[in-house]
Amino acid sequence: MIRFEGVRKTFGATRALDGLDLEVPEGAFAVLLGGSGAGKSTALRTVNRLIDPDAGRVLLRGRDVAQEEAPTLRRRIGYVIQGIGLFPHWTVARNIGAVPRLLGWEDRRIAARVDELLALLRLDPSAYRDRMPAQLSGGQAQRIGVARALAAGPDILLMDEPFGALDAITRQAMQQEMARLHAATGKTILLVTHDVDEAFSLATQLCVMAEGRLLQAGTPRELLDAPADPRVRDLLDGGAIGMRRLALVSAADLAAPSAEAPATLPRIPAGATGREALEAMLAARTEAAVLVGSDGADAGLVALKDLLRA
Amino acid sequence: MRWGALLPVLLFAAGLLALPLLGPGFAALFPDVAEPLYRREAFGTLALAHAGLVLASLLPAAAIGIGLGIAATRPGAREVRAVADALVGFAQAVPPVAVITIAVPVLGFGAAPALLALVCYATLPVLRGTTGALATVPPEVLDAARGAGMTPRQILWQVELPLAATPILVGLRVAAVLAVATAAVGAVAGATCLGTPIIAGLVNGNPAWVLQGALLTGLMAFAVDGLLGALAPVSASPP
């Protein structure tokens, strides 16, 4: 879907990209992770030609992006940035409708699309469509930023540290929102972050970068289990490899069928992660927890030692 | 629109109407002067000509200043900015009287040399205001605009200019006030304006005429400031 081939870019004396090779499959939630100066944002911005590479090429569905006029290309690609960058002199509706307007959609179609997107991002259309950006909280503004990026129905979404400026609680809510949107729309998302936890909670494909190159790409689990480079291990560790691994498995996968689970054991939802199961056991000071299905019946029993299989 | 800003306009109008009736007052103030009230042209005629000079110089100054300001802030136009700054800085470093005196042999007496000096003078604040105003547009808004697929022209007209309009108007306001004051100097080259009584008064040793010309020029500057202030409600501080 998105393919980087030997992409190089220097800014003055700084080598931002030093031969980046990476392939992002269709429908992936790909996260570019790395420290500052790793070249993540530069890589992202070569996709919609906000930056043109010095060498190498970027392909979208096999087609070199350099073959298309930059504005036309960009209208097909959603773009969300840390600063959000809502147009401060336009209403929420006009902001969301920016790209459809550029594409020449009819007003009625734009208005309907705006309401649809506000609802998708759980903002009441009648309350928000006529607001000005200055009247929004940071989290609301970034929801509008995401809605604006989705407006013309692009199949690719580029997100450059989209939640970096938000407070921790709002950031977490937005991450859940994005995971939900990705699952609901199946769009290919390329997101840049330096936040390892964010990368783990969102990525289906985690791409670790350093010094303008790709160190390793794979599922979060693959990178945790077999880091290809000491720098990958250092970046992912943060003293939490075990917990990260637990967070990536579903407790149900580790559970045994429960015959008669004692009522004293803590109950957790059947969709909980291994980490949540451990958290419930530690909180209740027990060595097991019971999974409860959506019908309220016990669906399995996960014991402390089961978690070691994660 | 704040109606309080129109007070100076009313004051100027009142000055224009009242001044011809104040002959006895000026006679008392300047007992040695044979002709205490300037009567060669009506004050209204002078004011109209003065306003004409200001308008005729402000329009090209706005066009040049805003145009250069936009050109100088385009990406990859650093040279344009340097040249524009040097050019307009030079134009303002030369005193208006000098511009007029130099221009008279080429352009002849009358309004033309005055207009040249005025355009030179009014362009700088407009240019500075425009570059400054465009620099206030947040970089992430420009990034978002480019990322959304707007062409450079669409970004300029739909994003940059609307966001920069107020500070650009402030630059125009400074330029207009400056032009009203400077236009009086045009009388040196024989341009008819509110400076005419001042020059005539100086030549004929008639301080009453100087006072009348200066009074109306000052009131007109206030009026223009108030008028444009009502459109751009930000204090007009020189750039």
Average pLDDT in chain B: 86
- SS3 of B110-159: EHHHHHHHHHHHHHHHHHHHHHHHHHCCCHHHHHHHHHCCCCHHHHHHHH
For chains A and B, CB pairs below 8 A equal 62
Return the pLDDT at A276.
87
Return the pLDDT at A132.
96
Return the pLDDT at A238.
66
DSSP 8-state assignment for residue A134: G
Return the pLDDT at B237.
39
**Domain ranges (residues) in chain B:** 3-34+48-230
Query: Which CATH code, of 1.10.10.60, 3.40.50.300, 3.30.230.10, 3.90.1200.10, is assigned to A2-244?
Result: 3.40.50.300
Of B3 and A162, the one with more pLDDT: A162
CATH 3.10.580.10 location in chain A? 250-309
Structure tokens at A250: 């579903």
Return the pLDDT at B99.
77
For residue B116, give how far its alpha carbon lies from the nearest alpha carbon of chain A (Å). Answer: 37
Q: Do A99 and B145 touch (CB under 8 A)?
A: no
Q: Name the burial class of residue A239, with classes exposed (0-12), middle (13-18) and buried (19+) by CB atoms within 10 angstroms of its CB.
A: exposed
Return the pLDDT at A239.
64
Q: Do B148 and A75 touch (CB under 8 A)?
A: yes
Q: Do B148 and A148 touch (CB under 8 A)?
A: yes
User: In degrees, to the nearest 5, what angle opens at C-alpha B73 toward C-alphas B70 and B74?
Assistant: 90
What is the architecture of the domain spanning B3-34+48-230? Answer: Orthogonal Bundle (1.10)
Residue B216 has pLDDT above 70, yes or no: yes
Of A109-123, A283-297, B73-87, B175-189, where does the model show the most confidence?
Answer: A109-123
Return the pLDDT at B232.
62
For residue A45, give how far its alpha carbon lies from the nearest alpha carbon of chain B (Å). Answer: 9
Q: Does B150 touch chain A (CB under 8 A)?
A: yes
Domain A250-309 belongs in CATH node 3.40.50.970? no
Q: Does B159 touch chain A (CB under 8 A)?
A: yes
Q: Are A47 and A156 in contact (CB under 8 A)?
A: yes
φ/ψ bin of A77: left (φ > 0), alpha (ψ from -120 to 50), beta (otherwise): beta
> What digits encode the pLDDT tens for the residues A74-121?
999 999 998 899 999 999 999 999 999 999 999 999 999 999 999 988
Residue B152 has pLDDT above 50, yes or no: yes
Dihedral of CA atoms B227, B156, A157, A35 in degrees, nearest 10, equals -90
CATH 3.40.50.300 location in chain A? 2-244
Return the pLDDT at A246.
84
Structure tokens at B49: 């000509």
Q: What is the mean pLDDT of each run of 10 residues along chain A (310 residues)?
A: 95 92 96 92 96 95 94 96 93 96 96 94 93 93 94 94 88 89 92 91 93 93 88 78 82 79 84 87 88 83 84
Segment holding A14, helix H or strand E: strand A14-24
pLDDT classification of B235: cutoffs 50, 70, 90: very low
Q: Does B154 touch chain A (CB under 8 A)?
A: yes
For residue B70, give how far its alpha carbon lies from the nearest alpha carbon of chain A (Å). Answer: 20
Q: Which long-range contacts (CB under 8 A, 24 or more apart) does A74-77 make?
A: A74/A48, A74/A49, A74/A50, A74/B146, A74/B147, A74/B148, A74/B149, A75/A99, A75/A102, A75/A103, A75/A152, A75/B148, A75/B149, A76/A152, A76/A154, A76/A155, A76/A156, A77/A47, A77/A48, A77/A154, A77/A156, A77/A157, A77/A158
Residues of A in contact with B145 (CB under 8 A): 85, 87
Reference B165, options B231, B82, B219, B71; nearest CA is B231
Return the pLDDT at B236.
40
- Give the separation between CA A39 and CA A211, rounded to whole angstroms: 7
Q: Which of B139, B151, B163 sits opposite A71 (nearest CB)?
A: B151
The dihedral of CA B91, B96, B102, B103: what is its sign?
Answer: positive
φ/ψ bin of B113: left (φ > 0), alpha (ψ from -120 to 50), beta (otherwise): alpha
